[in-house]
Amino acid sequence: MKRVRTEQIQMAVSCYLKRRQYVDSEGPLKQGLRLCQTAEEMAANLTVQSESGCANVVSAAPCLAEPQQYEVQFGRLRNFLTDSDSQHSHEVMPLLYPLFVYLHLNMVQNGLKSTVDSFYSRFHGMFLQNASQKDIIEQLQTTMTIQDILSNLKLRAFLDNKYVIRLQEDSYNYLLRYLQSDNNNALCKVLTLHIHLDVQPAKRTDYQLYAGGSSSRSESNGLEPSDVPASILQNEAALDLLQDSIKRVKDGPPSLTTICFYAFYNTEQLLNTAEISPNSKLLAAGFDNSCVKLWSLRSRKLKSEPHLVDVSRIRLACDILDEEEEEDDSAGTEMKILRGHCGPVYSTRFLSDSSGLLSCSEDMSIRYWDLGSFTNTVLYQGHAYPVWDLDISPCSLYFASGSHDRTARLWSFDRTYPLRIYAGHLADVDCVKFHPNSNYLATGSTDKTVRLWSTQQGNSVRLFTGHRGPVLALAFSPNGKYLASAGEDQRLKLWDLASGTLYKELRGHTDNITSLTFSPDSSLIASASMDNSVRVWDIRNTYCNAPADGSSSELVGVYTGQMNNVLSVQFMACNLLLVSGIAQENQEH
Amino acid sequence: MEAAKMASPKSGPKDAQVMAQILKDMGITEYEPRVINQMLEFAYRYVTTILEDAKIYSSHAKKPSVDADDVRLAIQCRTDQSFTSPPPRDFLLDIARHKNQAPLPLIKPYSGPRLPPDRYCLTAPNYRLRALHKKV
């Protein structure tokens, strides 16, 4: 009887789902609907959830720890927290006191007298400010054996109960990253056994993707456009109101981006790189057959501009120059092919005013193409090995290239030889990027490091290690604070340039990441990858919830399509993201 | 075109089977079938180049036949020419330090398109008109 009833219920549910056109209606039914849960099952689920919750992540650490390491690891943690003077380290600082007490008690229990003495004498001084802490510390000094601990009520209370510390989620992640960065077995062991970390999740509001503009805005602090006539600005109160509304806009949720995808068909696997000009009018692509093809993205066709100097006519000041309006577009073509290289073209870059194009290739040369006449104007030679990547400095004053010869070189447009050599990488330099202030150059390499160089001096000023694979893409934030790097290890790392440390690590991609870009207000990062998806992340991370597939919680959206490979992403002004990639072709074998 | 899984060509020529075995020994399991042909071509070209060089060296030394020393010399000379690797790191650091000492040239303001002098650009015509000689 009961089985018939269950089947009836399942039938009803599947009919309802089919009527509502849920495609995967067979999936959940095959596994058997959970229509009721016994009390035991509920209890089991609850314990599983609480045991595997965020506070118990640290319990996975191995438990072998030598007592000599206690002093080393505790000292390192203390130095780390005192050196980095940030809000997170201030929140984690109270953790040092219980760690000290428990490590001391542990060593006394194991009977290691000399290490106990040295540990105590080195670190006890920092806890003498607080009266209650000072009291315990002095009692610790007299404990020599286990019996001393057991007879002392306060110390025994330490051992019998867990010490509770409250942390914000950000500080907790900060602490976890430090513990993971090096060998901290002893600290992890103490944290699992004796300390309970009460993690308070950061306040999040739900972030809806593809919502209509009005609903997402209504979930945030309701903004009204405030009309502030110029005459009221003298009023102090109105000024405060204006600043307040500016702050609300700045801290509000990032607006959803518009994405425009340019797909290449029938490239026959020859396409290496694609880029869109800053004025969005041209698309340049570099191919393995040494040509660079230019497409016009507007309705106007590409046409060479007429020569400005016409030596067959002498113009006098009194001449009336008649502007010849060329109304026939027959002379123009939609695509122009630029031939000049003798090897596959690996990267192209437009000048910031879109008047010229630089391309670098396996034939060890860099060529400058003038986009008025679509001809090759200059040949820059200096590398002895294939050149992998190019970047142009913000005011188009210099450009830099990275090559297989493990160096990056700085060039100026009016000299055909390099001006600076940045040597120091152990393997070839895969990507180069200028900082927005043109003073620094970042290079990513196959030796899994990212280096920051001073443009003028030529010496390496920072070395960022931590990637587990070659670094294939770099991007600087327009406000100059962060550097994003990503590569074959499928992780996006954000480095804070002021302190020179890792700020965030974003997980989620499942294949090599090929391109990165920041939004103009430095709040969003878009990343393109060979797993045919483009992901947009919000690095201020105030408005997202954790996605289901294990990606970092900064993920705002994942965009996939019928693509074989995504080559480049570029943020334009007005919140527009331009993506170029290779379209998926039907297999005809 | 998807890369095909490695399938040992059972009916192929012996050289192709040997090449497939070499690829398997080096740990490469997925490759397109034309890779074997390309590798065989490369091997043939390399060996013939070395042996021709060895013949030249042995005839220069007036030896009756090519022996192992000639082949060894041929390999050494070819390696220096074709299979080069980037210079060692300390050498690179040395020349970088030397190069980076020179100050950067000044940037002239308002100079229009910044291009090298015309001699170093590719803007000159690469042809010359031949004057017609008038026949009297």
B126 assigned to some structural domain: no
What one-letter code names the amino acid at A281?
K
Q: Kindly state the average pLDDT of the residues A91-115.
A: 81
Which of A84-98, A155-169, A218-232, B60-74 is modeled with the greatest confidence?
A: B60-74
**Do residues A389 and A473 share a domain?**
yes
Q: What is the pLDDT of residues A530-553, one digit of tens each?
A: 989 999 998 887 556 667 677 777
Q: Which of B120, B91, B108, B115 is nearest to A421 (CA)?
A: B91
Cα A82 from Cα B81, distance rounded (Å): 56
**Do residues A195 and A276 share a domain?**
no
Cβ neighbours for A282, distance < 8 A, ≥ 6 positions apart: A276, A294, A295, A296, A297, A302, A350, A354, A371
Helix residue spans in A67-126 (DSSP H)? 67-83, 87-92, 96-110, 113-123
**Do residues A280 and A380 share a domain?**
yes
Residues of B in contact with A430 (CB under 8 A): none
Cα A166 from Cα A196, distance rounded (Å): 9
Q: For helices A113-123 and A67-83, what crossing angle results, to 10°?
A: 10
Last residue of a domain, one of A151, A183, A200: A200
Task: Report the run of H or E that residue A168 belongs to, with start and end.
Answer: strand A163-168
Cα B50 from Cα A384, distance rounded (Å): 25
* Three-state secondary-structure class, residue A446: coil
Here the CATH number for the domain that contains residue B76 is 1.10.20.10
Q: Which of A448, A446, A464 is nearest to A501 (CA)?
A: A464
Q: What is the pLDDT of residues A470-518, one digit of tens each?
A: 999 999 999 999 999 999 999 999 999 999 999 999 998 999 999 999 9
**Do residues A366 and A507 share a domain?**
yes
Across the interface, do B87 and A420 touch by the CB < 8 Å criterion? no
Residue A215: pLDDT band (50, 70, 90) is: very low
**Do residues A167 and A275 share a domain?**
no
Report chain B's terminal Cα–Cα distance, integer Å.
Answer: 68
Mean model confidence pLDDT for chain A: 82
Specify the pLDDT at position B4: 43
Here the CATH number for the domain that contains residue A151 is 1.25.40.500
What one-letter code names the amino acid at A566?
V
**Do residues A493 and A351 share a domain?**
yes
Residue A366: pLDDT band (50, 70, 90) is: very high
Q: Where are the beta strands (DSSP E) in A397-481?
A: 398-403, 407-412, 420-423, 429-434, 440-445, 450-454, 460-464, 471-476
A234 assigned to some structural domain: no
| A402 and B CB contact within 8 Å | no
B26 assigned to some structural domain: yes
Cα A310 from Cα A308, distance rounded (Å): 6
Measure the CA angle with vertex A207, ends A206 and A211; round to 5°.
Answer: 125
Among A396, A397, A413, beta carbon nearest to B115: A413
Distance from CA of B59 to the nearest CA of A (A): 35
> Is-contact A131 A163, C-beta < 8 A?
no
Residue with the bigger pLDDT between B8 and B48: it is: B48
Task: Report the run of H or E that residue A264 belongs to, with start and end.
Answer: strand A258-264
Across the interface, do B99 and A397 touch by the CB < 8 Å criterion? no
Containing structural domain, residue A363 = 258-319+332-583
Domain count, chain B: 1
* Three-state secondary-structure class, residue A485: strand
**Do residues A291 and A423 share a domain?**
yes
Last residue of a domain, one of A134, A167, A200: A200
Cα A205 from Cα A222, distance rounded (Å): 13
> Is-contact A568 A580, C-beta < 8 A?
yes
Domain count, chain A: 2
Nearest Cα residue in chain B from A406:
B86
**0.90 surpassed by pTM:** no
CB atoms under 10 Å from CB of A264, counted, come to 20
| B89 and A CB contact within 8 Å | yes
> Is-contact A428 A445, C-beta < 8 A?
yes
**Do residues A511 and A365 share a domain?**
yes
ipTM over 0.85: no
Residues of A in contact with B99 (CB under 8 A): 418-421, 458
Here the CATH number for the domain that contains residue A570 is 2.130.10.10
| B100 and A CB contact within 8 Å | yes
Residue A105 corresponds to which tokens in the numbers above? 């008690």
What secondary structure, in 3-state letters, does A277-302 show? CCCCCEEEEEECCCEEEEEECCCCCE
Q: Which of A189, A363, A192 is nearest to A286 (CA)?
A: A363
B89 assigned to some structural domain: yes
Taking only residues 175 to 204 of chain A, the set having a beta carbon closer than 8 angstroms to any beta carbon of chain B reads none
Is a pLDDT exceeding 90 seen at residue A407? yes
Q: Where are the beta strands (DSSP E) in A425-553?
A: 429-434, 440-445, 450-454, 460-464, 471-476, 482-487, 492-496, 501-506, 513-518, 524-529, 533-538
Q: Give the rounded percent of residues in chain A with a pLDDT score beyond 70.
A: 83
Cα A145 from Cα B88, distance rounded (Å): 59
Distance from CA of A424 to the nearest CA of B (A): 7
| B130 and A CB contact within 8 Å | no
Containing structural domain, residue B59 = 14-98
Residue with the bigger pLDDT between A38 and A276: it is: A276
**Do residues A277 and A143 share a domain?**
no
**Do residues A281 and A162 share a domain?**
no
